[in-house]
Amino acid sequence: MNQPDNKISFKPKQALAPTAELYDALVGDGMVNLAHASIAEIPSVTPGAIIHDNGCGTGSGTAALFASLPPTLWPQITLLATDIHAPALTLFTSKAREHNWPIPDSNIRLLDSNDLSGIPDNHFTLSLNNALFFALPQDGVPAMREAFRTLRPGGTLVANSWAHLPNMEALHAAHVATRPVGTPAPREGLDKWNDAAFMRARLEEAGFEREKIHIVRRDVDIETVEVHRFAEMLWSFIGGTGKSGWSEEDERVWDDAVGVIKGVLGKSEGYEEVEGEDGERRLKLRFVANVAVASK
């Protein structure tokens, strides 16, 4: 999920381990809300649907999907959840049992979105790709081609990308403020996905016809941990993923980087500090998503 673009082993002593649990805490309800905004754009799911949660992660897409359906429909659909990260699938399985999702363990599989070998052509009626393609190599095109291949004629693919990410603006500011000029930035090139036209072009490259691709922009509000904790988690999870990795200097200026992140976040549109149901301070941020719905 944090996918470092380097093999450097050094990590600052302050850096938190990039576990699936840390990811869940970091994104808060953001991935579920992104999935909700995306699923709201697709045709109604009907009995007999065969659905693929592609790159399912810890289960945000599936959670949003089942929340959108009447419980009487749950047993009448088939869902396959796949991801390349085993720890994420462990959490997914736990959530499936906790929420009584009708998904047998055999339908929760370790599988690379870029190579869906074993899944036949023209199989799924719905391909759900939540926060997936922009995180993959080659601009997500190999995974899009596999999603296209496994989708039935007349089936629907839904995918998304971020048009505005206040967290990445803050992280980039911390990178610039605390590292030498010219140091490769984490998630370099992610901003090309801000333009919906980029995702449209990649979907066309994967096989979808231009007139069958529809893209809308939607606000996605998220609530996560309190701001200082969020800044530490964000820098821990992504700060060392660039080509240059972590350096010993990052350890020395750790507090400076976290402070920059907090300062930039505080000036972003939609920023709000609130009290959670547990009485703890929480952070609210506003993201903007591009939601693409394509039919085969």
How would you classify the pairing of strands 272-275 and 281-295? antiparallel
pLDDT at residue 126, rounded to an integer: 99
Helices (DSSP H) in the chain: which residue ranges?
20-27, 30-39, 60-67, 86-98, 141-150, 166-178, 196-206, 227-238, 248-252, 254-266
Asked if 91 and 63 touch (Cβ cutoff 8 Å), the reply is no
Mean pLDDT of 101-128: 98
What pLDDT band is residue 279 in, cutting at 50, 70 and 90? confident
Q: State pTM to two decimals.
A: 0.90
State the pLDDT at residue 143. 99
Residues 231, 164, 19, 185, CA torsion sign: negative
Could you give the percent of the chain with pLDDT greater than 90?
Answer: 91
pLDDT for residue 1: 59
Choose between 295 and 277: higher pLDDT: 295
Residue-wise pLDDT for 35-91, tens only, equals: 999 999 999 999 999 999 999 999 999 999 999 999 999 999 999 999 999 999 999
CA 214 to chain centroid, in Å, comes to: 20
Q: Residues 69, 40: contact at Cβ < 8 Å?
A: no
- What pLDDT, on the 0 to 100 scale, is given for residue 2? 59
Domain positions in the chain? 20-295
Provide the token pair at 52: 């693929």
Give the model confidence (pLDDT) of 222-247 as tens digits: 999 999 999 999 999 999 999 999 99
Nearest Cα residue to 96 out of 143, 131, 60: 60
Q: What is the pLDDT of residues 23-36, one digit of tens each?
A: 889 999 999 999 99
Give the integer Cα–Cα distance in Å for 235 and 265.
13
Residue 280 reports pLDDT greater than 90 = no
Q: Name residue 222's amino acid.
A: I
Q: Are 162 and 178 spatial neighbours (Cβ–Cβ below 8 Å)?
A: no
Could you name the CATH architecture of 20-295? 3-Layer(aba) Sandwich (3.40)
CB 146 within 8 A of CB 71: no
Q: What is the pLDDT of residues 197-224, one digit of tens each?
A: 999 999 999 999 999 999 999 999 999 9
